[in-house]
Structure 1
């Protein structure tokens, strides 16, 4: 006896429907939880019931409603200010590039509540989650590359064949950074095969208000930290206010949102009326016998994958590195005393002055060894604390790039904050970037001395 017949095209559509249900099941399984907290930093407390607190609360209440807007940039990033000086509050959020408008809004909404609990009176605050970051400050943080404070988080498990792993990871991170810098959203993901059964997933992202060059410097600083904090670990991330990098042996981002869409399936035309359906027809019982095991297998596979990912996340152990205390040896080797700087610059003589800007003045100097240096004397009104200054010195000193002049050291005595660079005569930053000849014979230190 013949069963109910079904054309192959309908069988194919039924199979796609089963896969769709499986994916929907996965989404509902993973989307219900709150965003995964990573770290937060609070500083410079304000007075309770102050105008600044009122402005802060107004800012936090308005940010979630703009999760799908981009105010000139891509969706998933938004910045705005509330109030007037001296109580103006600058705020922004950045969602991971694979997040939908809905999931971004959920993360930002959660962050505005969570941040007030963790930092009830912080004047400068930033909080990171896996899915987004939220930040506010009493100074402008827009279109500005901030590299401190930073934190490194690592997985406690070690890789096998560390030498080969480091080579693959270095190449992968270089590729994903280059891709992010040249993307208008300043976001990119890439994968690489470590073994036949292990895939390495990576991500790089900057706030999209940064220039490509600032984004590149920020990401290069982040990946330069990986060997120091996380060498040989199966997963790690470096969180900086203006950018983040991360790698794992599991897909920690939404693969479907970061990959090109698959080609549309080709649907076969229905058979013409009256066409023969002999023994080659497929009965409904046969279809059920084929599709049911596939559907069950697909669902079990997805449940197992979700379990594996959650288990891997549970093994992730955060080890913060938000200050330079463990780099004290590096700091001691970089520190100059103020008297040496005074002698080198002839007591900051106007004849030695190279330039002046909003953050201080730059002088040419000569050390007792005969080495010429460029001395940036930061303005006392810069508002940067001593520990923040040390953190930034350590981070900048780690950067090695042919387009960056080398930082030789610093001086921190009393209210004096001084940076000492190598002196490069007749060169400017655009010379290194574009190989152009200098237009005059003025002396520059190789990067914008007035910043």
Structure 2
């Protein structure tokens, strides 16, 4: 009896541990924002009937998302057409109910904040779409607006690829169209080579007819790139996507196994054989118990192997946060092989935190590996912060984290490879005092349309961090060297080691340890440790000013203790001679008005009072629409260098570019590696 009890306890304990182990690795990642559509011509007044009906619709959709088995629901509220509200959500066909519910809840909060008081809006995430309108749009064939995005990497064999892509997409378009009322959704894999697969997806809202769904998908297929390694095209009612990696949940799409054949119940055995039956039962129990104990020991070994990683990523009050990044972990051997064991030939550059290497994964993907030195001042906390933040944030203007490695004394971050280095490499190419590795011919490539494209992309990336992502992120180290440029010169914000998360309703925080670069720091942060989204707006304003002027913030100060760029720009603006500030290579009769408008926006961003600075949403709006007239800027805040301490002291008309960091210019893929010196 005692022996059986012991076996039972062993089995129970092993089962309990296994359950806890599995449970600790089952959290969902934050939804990935794609785009937002607001019709800025139809507004409702606060506390109106329409607002009440809209809240009812959105609450109904949020509730339905928690139980919907097909990831789709519609809702309508109100009797009178002008004040009626209609809405729907559509979740990607492979996501779980919990992921769908979380995405819809996040979309509801973000769309109400970003499309404030607007009657018509749609928000897209990778996992779901949420839409509302004051007119009934259910089952309607609406093909606009539409959006297209593409991977920046090219295909090596475009002819073969286009053929496989066309056949596969045509197949899943038909399958999705015939999906019935449950889900109009289909995925398909196809072999490109013996080592490479193509993954495709197509989906419509289930309220569409078969013909309308197929028509929408066929039109979307025409907008897919034929020579890139990935792309997507979507509209209000359908979408298609392809990649060279599995971007959907393949296990959720696996066919349901056929029911197992059950043997008929065995005839009742004579009582004389009951002892034999008991022995068999005990033997099976012991075998199962032994298996569970073995599983327990295996789990212990795995946990011991990853002990350091668990210690680094353990967050008080959020024991499951490790799951978000567990799937991104690389083996050290993989990184060593990719970088040829961190050879000099693979080295791209170095900084205060360590070195950056170019590498190539077994699947052919190019990566940039940030190797933190053992003497680096970026400790486990900063490493954890960067991994957790970047893993949860995905936007076309943010550098993408592919994985990390934490073995022995090594702390490694693997990012997408961005071939065109950083913005300062191009922008300050003629000024070797600030950028030692610059090529003087590079700055000539930055004409005004390209600079405008870069600054608009940076603004969109910062808007995503501040308002469009599920987490509100304050970057705290926005500067030219932290802006990477891809093969098409699209900007990507990098280096999130100093970033901080804000709560939904949080507007400001205080901190004792000041980090970043004084030339880009807002006065309230540099002097009082107060930071907010407006601190990032100030940094964006300085960065924007450097893009317009083609000079570093401290350029003029190197000559006989002269002016800093921000003060110089304000003085010229005040005196009515702003053209003196502008980079001569970008000013012509066609661009002058737009460049001066951008200088106006810069001065608004660097105002001393944070309340006067615009939000990033307003900045994006001013950049994308000339119908909005920016308010007149006031006297910005500057710094004066304290000769006794070498720190910035805010004063009107003076400025300091003293930095709390020292950065070394990097070559390719200039990931910012900043060494911090606390005040």
TM-score (norm 1): 0.55
- Match in the other structure for 1:233: 228
- Match in the other structure for 1:187: 185
Q: Cα gap change, 1:161/1:25 in structure 2, threshold over 3 Å: closer, same or farther?
A: farther
Q: Which runs of 5+ in 2 are unaligned?
A: 1-10, 267-275, 281-285, 307-322, 331-364, 366-386, 399-679
Residue 253 of structure 1 aligns to a residue whose secondary structure is: coil
Measured after TM superposition, the shift of residue 68 of structure 1 is 5.0
Q: Cα gap change, 1:219/1:314 in structure 2, threshold over 3 Å: closer, same or farther?
A: same
CA distance in structure 1 between the partners assigned to 2:301 and 2:168 by the alignment: 36
Residue 210 of structure 1 aligns to a residue whose secondary structure is: coil
CA distance in structure 2 between the partners assigned to 1:241 and 1:204 by the alignment: 14
Q: Report whether the alignment pairs 1:114 with 2:104.
A: no
| 1:34-433 matched pairs, under 5 angstroms | 34-43=30-39, 44-49=41-46, 50-68=48-66, 75-83=70-78, 84-184=80-180, 185-227=183-225, 231-262=226-257, 305-307=327-329, 317=396
Q: Cα gap change, 1:252/1:34 in structure 2, threshold over 3 Å: closer, same or farther?
A: same
Q: Cα gap change, 1:219/1:16 in structure 2, threshold over 3 Å: closer, same or farther?
A: farther
CA contact (8 A) 2:33 2:395 kept: no
Q: Cα gap change, 1:36/1:75 in structure 2, threshold over 3 Å: closer, same or farther?
A: same
CA contact (8 A) 1:91 1:137 kept: yes
CA contact (8 A) 2:65 2:73 kept: yes
CA contact (8 A) 1:38 1:128 kept: yes
Q: Cα gap change, 1:237/1:27 in structure 2, threshold over 3 Å: closer, same or farther?
A: farther
Measured after TM superposition, the shift of residue 244 of structure 1 is 0.9
CA contact (8 A) 1:150 1:240 kept: yes
Residue 223 of structure 2 aligns to a residue whose secondary structure is: helix
More strand by share: 1
- Match in the other structure for 2:359: none
Q: Cα gap change, 1:243/1:24 in structure 2, threshold over 3 Å: closer, same or farther?
A: farther
Measured after TM superposition, the shift of residue 48 of structure 1 is 2.8
CA contact (8 A) 2:30 2:392 kept: no
CA distance in structure 2 between the partners assigned to 1:24 and 1:173 by the alignment: 37
CA distance in structure 2 between the partners assigned to 1:286 and 1:52 by the alignment: 61
Q: Which runs of 5+ in 1 are unaligned?
A: 1-10, 276-280, 320-451
Residue 180 of structure 1 aligns to a residue whose secondary structure is: helix
Residue 27 of structure 1 aligns to a residue whose secondary structure is: coil
Q: Cα gap change, 1:162/1:22 in structure 2, threshold over 3 Å: closer, same or farther?
A: farther
CA contact (8 A) 2:121 2:131 kept: yes
CA contact (8 A) 1:156 1:317 kept: no
- Match in the other structure for 1:4: none
Residue 157 of structure 1 aligns to a residue whose secondary structure is: coil
- Number of equivalences: 299
Q: Cα gap change, 1:295/1:51 in structure 2, threshold over 3 Å: closer, same or farther?
A: same
Structure 1 stretches of 4+ moved >4 Å = 15-26, 262-267, 271-275, 281-300, 302-305, 307-316
- Match in the other structure for 2:26: 27
Measured after TM superposition, the shift of residue 126 of structure 1 is 0.6
Residue 258 of structure 1 aligns to a residue whose secondary structure is: coil
What's the CA shift string for 1:237-263, capped at 9, x where partnerless? 111100011112222222121111356
What's the CA shift string for 1:406-450, capped at 9, x where partnerless? xxxxxxxxxxxxxxxxxxxxxxxxxxxxxxxxxxxxxxxxxxxxx
CA distance in structure 2 between the partners assigned to 1:226 and 1:168 by the alignment: 13
What's the CA shift string for 1:60-110, capped at 9, x where partnerless? 22211112566xxx6311112122221111111111111232222221111
CA distance in structure 2 between the partners assigned to 1:296 and 1:161 by the alignment: 45
Please report the RMSD computed on the Cα atoms of aligned residues, expressed in angstroms: 4.4
CA contact (8 A) 2:44 2:119 kept: no
CA distance in structure 2 between the partners assigned to 1:272 and 1:21 by the alignment: 33
Measured after TM superposition, the shift of residue 222 of structure 1 is 0.7
CA contact (8 A) 2:32 2:394 kept: no
TM-score (norm 2): 0.38
